[in-house]
Structure 1
C-alpha cells in the first residue's frame, strides 16, 4: 500500500507500488501500467513545477526524449501532469547505480569495464542523434541492469534547465565540463566530458579531478589536468582526449563507439600542454560558488544534535527506552593512540552535505547512522568502513538522526525538511510503519525517550512547535507545545526528579524547558547566549545534576542546570565561528563536551574546568554540522559529519592532554 505524502495509489493509468529513488528533481516510484508491466514513474518536485509556462516547456522537452532509440537507454514511455506536477514514465530497469556498485564492490576491470564503456558511449550516441544533450551524465545515472548498463534521466536536465534558478545548476560537480561550469553553450561535447569522468570513476573508484569541496573540484576541472593513474593503457588515450578542456577537441559519442569497438579513429596521444596551476582557492563561505550559473543560494540549516540512546560502557544498550550516559573509558588492552588523532581516511557515503550523524552498536558491531542533503539515511559498519544500507524515503534533507531501541530492535528516527519523521529498522535497513506527519513545514530535530511507559519521540520544527509521538503507533501523542517564536532547531529529552521533560531551542536564541506530562513550559526561557540562534542541545548529568549543553551563533557553548534552570559557570569559548553541534560524555572519569563549528574544527572540553582538552580536531574542509561520541575497538572516539560530504573519526583515548 502506498504511503507517500501527497502521492496517491494511482496516477492516471499507473498504479504506484513503492518508492525506488529520489533526487533534486523528483521522486521515482515503481509502478505498473494498465497491463501490469512494471515501469518507473518520476514525479517532479513541487518547486520545479509551479509555473504553467515551465510545465509546458517541460512536457515539450521530455517528448523529445521519446525519440531516442533504445540502445542501452531506459526508454521514455509517457509524460503527463498529475495535479500541477509533471511526471515521466520510463522503462523499469532493476539494478543498482554504477556509483553504488563501485562503492560496494570496487572499480570495474577487464571485460566488465570495456562493456561499460561501449554501452554508455552507445547510449550517448543514441541520445545525441535524437537532438538531446543529457547534461547530467554521471555514475548515479547509469544503472547496472541484468542485461547490461543502462543510461537514465536523459532529456530531464534540458527540460528542467529553465528552473535552474530555483533548484541549483543543472549538472553534478566533478562530472561537469568546463563550459557547463562557466555558463557557456552546452553541447553534446559536455556529455562526452562527463562520460570520460564517469569512466575514470568506474575504473579507479576516484574522481578524475580530485577535490574535497565544490570550489576545489571546479578549480581542478577548469585549470588542472585529470588524474588518470590506474586507467588501462588501451583506454587512457581516449579518456584523456575526451577530457580536453576545449570541447572542439573532444571526440563525439559516435567516435567514442568507433574507437572502443575497433573502427578506425585516430586518437591524439601526445601530452596536452600544461595548464597554469593557480593557488588553492580560499576557504569558502558558500557551498555553491557564484560561477555556477543560476545556482541557488544555500539555505543555512543546522545539524542539531540531541542525546542519543547510547550503549552502556559494557557495549550493551538500555532495553527500556531510557537513556544511559555514555561511558567512554577504553579497555585495559587498548593500544595507546595520541588523543585527537584522525582514525583512517574520511568515510564518503553521503552524496551531499552530511547534516547529522549518530552512533550505535548492533550485535557488537559499531555503526554510524547519518543523514544529509541527498535525502537518505545511511548506515556504515565502522569496523570495516563499508556501507550497509542507504535507506530512501524522505523527499527533503535529513537534518537530524537519533538511534535507540524499540521493543528490543535497534532503530533510527530521522527528521526531514519534507515535514516528516521516519522510523528505520537498523537490522533490516527498511522503514518501519508510515511517516509521522503533523509538523507544518520542515522538521529540524528529534530525540527519544519514554512517557507513561511508552516509547516516544520528541520533535521540533519550522512551525515553532515541539511535538510528541508514540513510537508504537506512529501517531502524535496529544497537542503540540507552542509558544516558541521562530524555528525550533534542537530538542532533547531528559528527566528531572523522575519527571520527563523536553528541552528546546532555535532561532529565538533562548532555551525552553517543557513538562511532557502537562505539555506546559516550566518557568521562563533560559537566556545567556548573547547573539543569534541556538542550533544544538545535548543533555546528561554533571556532578549528579541533570544538565543541558547548547551551542549557538555567538560561538559559545553553555551549560544549564535543568533542575534550577540556571546557567552553570562560564561559557565554553575558543571557536572562531558559530557552533552547530554539541555532545556530552565521559572519558577516563572526566566529563566532557564535544562541539562542532562553522570554523571547520571540533573541540573537546573538560566540563569540570571549562577548558579545552588538547588541540582542535582539524581536517574537514567545510563546516562541521554534527558531532557524536562513540567507541571503536574499546576506544573512545568522536564522529564528525560535515558539509564537505564526509564523516571523520577521531581517537579520544587517554591519556588526555592537560
Structure 2
C-alpha cells in the first residue's frame, strides 16, 4: 500500500484525487491516485516548477509515449503547464525488482530466465521506438502480473535528438564506462543495464559494489563481474553485455534471439510471464476497506453507510469532500453503540479511518472514489450531504454554547447560499 501523503503534498491534481506516495526521487514524487470514475492510476508530479524542470518532464513524456504499452505503464494524461506539472499513467499492480528480491530472495534459474526474456523483450520495444532509456536499474522495473515493465524515462533520449555532453545523470552502479566519460551513449547503454540487473536478480547483490563514486567508477572501468552463477545461454549473454567497449556488446534483439531463438515479441512476451513472481501486490486502501466490510456482521454492514457518510462532505475538490466527527456524534440512538464501536475500530485498524485529537476522518478523499461501495453511497446521498453537514455544525454550536435555545437549528436562512432553487413566492 502507498505511504501516507505528507503535509506539503497536494490532495488533487487536475481531476485526479491522490491517496498516497508510491515513491520519490530527485525529480519529483509518484502518487497513487484515482480518476473521476474510480480508476486507479499513478501520478508523477514535479518538485520544482522551473522552465528547465518542465522541459525535462516534457521530454520524458514524449519518450514515454513513443514506447509500446506492453513495455511500460501507459501514459493516460499529462498537464505540463499548470502550477504543478504532472503525468498520469496506468497503475501497475506489482513491486519493483529491488523490492521483490528483498522480500523473496534471489531468483532461481527458471524465473531468472523468464525475467531476462521479459526485460530483453521490453528493450526491443523501447529501442524500436528509437528511444534509449539510459537508467535501467531494479527500482525502474515493475513486475506486473503479465511481465516486467520499464518506468521512469526521465533521462531517456530520442535517437533523432542531437546528443550533448554535460552533467552526469543516471545510477552509478548501473552505468557503463562510456557514461562515466560523459558520453550519452546509444542503445548499448541499456544492454549493459540489462546485464547488471539480471546479475542483481541472480545474486541479490549489485554487480559493482563500491561504496563511493570513485570506487564504483574504477570497478566499472576495470572489474569483470563473476557470471558463474548463471546458466547458459544467459551466462554468455550477460558477460558479453558487460563488455567495456559498447561496440563489443550485443544489441537487444541479439539478446532476445539468444534467449528464445527468434525475435517474436508476442511469443517472447508469453514466455516472460512469471509463474510465481511477483508476489501479490499490497492491497490498496479501497481493497482493505472491502475486506473489512465483508468481515463485518449483518448489523454492522447495515450501519456502515450511515456512519461513513458522516465523514463525507458535498464538495467537488478533494480538500472539500472530507469532514471529521467526534465519537459522540455517531451516537444518535439509531445505531447501537456496540455496533458503532466495532465499525470504527475495524476500519481504523485497516488504516481506512484516522483519529486526530479525538476526531476521526477518512484516510483520504481518494477513498470516496476508490472504494466502489463508498462512491455509490455518496452518489446516492449527495443531495442530503449538505443538509447533514448543516445539522452537524448546528449541533456542535448548540453543545459548544451551553445548549442555548437560541442556538437551535432553525433551517436555512434566506440570505444563506442555497444548494437548490428557492420555492416560488406565494401570490
- Whether the TM-score (by the shorter chain) exceeds 0.5 is yes
Aligned to 1:279: none
Tell whether the 8 Å contact from 1:2 to 1:16 is kept in structure 2 after alignment.
Answer: no
Does 2:75 correspond to 1:76?
yes
In structure 1, how many angstroms separate the alpha carbons of the residues matched to 2:230 and 2:19? 41
Q: Give 1:36 shift.
A: 2.2
Aligned to 1:11: 13
- For residues 123 and 429 of structure 1, do their structure 2 counterparts lie closer, same or farther at Cα, with a shift above 3 Å needed? farther
- For residues 198 and 34 of structure 1, do their structure 2 counterparts lie closer, same or farther at Cα, with a shift above 3 Å needed? same
- For residues 124 and 430 of structure 1, do their structure 2 counterparts lie closer, same or farther at Cα, with a shift above 3 Å needed? farther
Give the alignment partner of residue 28 of structure 2, picking from 11, 26, 29: 26
- For residues 87 and 103 of structure 1, do their structure 2 counterparts lie closer, same or farther at Cα, with a shift above 3 Å needed? same
Q: Give 1:128 shift.
A: 1.4
In structure 2, how many angstroms separate the alpha carbons of the residues matched to 1:473 and 1:141? 41
Aligned to 1:152: 151
Larger Rg: 2
Cα deviations across residues 324-369 of structure 1 (Å, max 9, x unaligned)? Answer: xxxxxxxxxxxxxxxxxxxxxxxxxxxxxxxxxxxxxxxxxxxxxx
Tell whether the 8 Å contact from 2:109 to 2:230 is kept in structure 1 after alignment.
Answer: no
Tell whether the 8 Å contact from 1:204 to 1:231 is kept in structure 2 after alignment.
Answer: no
In structure 1, how many angstroms separate the alpha carbons of the residues matched to 2:55 and 2:262? 42
Aligned residues: 268
Q: Give 1:433 shift.
A: 6.5
- For residues 61 and 94 of structure 1, do their structure 2 counterparts lie closer, same or farther at Cα, with a shift above 3 Å needed? closer
In structure 2, how many angstroms separate the alpha carbons of the residues matched to 1:61 and 1:19? 20
In structure 2, how many angstroms separate the alpha carbons of the residues matched to 1:33 and 1:137? 29
- For residues 19 and 53 of structure 1, do their structure 2 counterparts lie closer, same or farther at Cα, with a shift above 3 Å needed? closer
Aligned to 1:140: 139
In structure 2, how many angstroms separate the alpha carbons of the residues matched to 1:27 and 1:57? 15
Runs (4+) of structure 1 exceeding 3 A deviation are 1-7, 82-85, 155-159, 428-434, 471-474
Aligned to 1:213: 212
Aligned to 2:91: 92
Aligned pairs for 1:233-382 within 5 A: 233-263=232-262
Q: Identify, as 1 or 2, the structure richer in strand.
A: 1
In structure 2, how many angstroms separate the alpha carbons of the residues matched to 1:219 and 1:69? 36
In structure 1, how many angstroms separate the alpha carbons of the residues matched to 2:208 and 2:59? 35
Aligned to 2:188: 189
- For residues 32 and 207 of structure 1, do their structure 2 counterparts lie closer, same or farther at Cα, with a shift above 3 Å needed? same
Q: Give 1:158 shift.
A: 4.7
Which ranges of structure 2 fall in alignment gaps of 5 or more residues? Answer: 264-348, 360-427
Cα deviations across residues 63-101 of structure 1 (Å, max 9, x unaligned)? Answer: 232121122322222222364432121121121111111
Cα deviations across residues 492-541 of structure 1 (Å, max 9, x unaligned)? Answer: xxxxxxxxxxxxxxxxxxxxxxxxxxxxxxxxxxxxxxxxxxxxxxxxxx
Which ranges of structure 1 fall in alignment gaps of 5 or more residues? Answer: 265-427, 435-470, 475-658
In structure 1, how many angstroms separate the alpha carbons of the residues matched to 2:4 and 2:233? 49
- For residues 213 and 2 of structure 1, do their structure 2 counterparts lie closer, same or farther at Cα, with a shift above 3 Å needed? closer
In structure 2, how many angstroms separate the alpha carbons of the residues matched to 1:231 and 1:80? 44
- For residues 5 and 123 of structure 1, do their structure 2 counterparts lie closer, same or farther at Cα, with a shift above 3 Å needed? same
Q: Identify, as 1 or 2, the structure richer in helix.
A: 2
- For residues 102 and 59 of structure 1, do their structure 2 counterparts lie closer, same or farther at Cα, with a shift above 3 Å needed? same
Q: Per the alignment, in what secondary structure is the counterpart of residue 44 of structure 2?
A: strand
Aligned to 2:44: 42
- For residues 207 and 54 of structure 1, do their structure 2 counterparts lie closer, same or farther at Cα, with a shift above 3 Å needed? closer
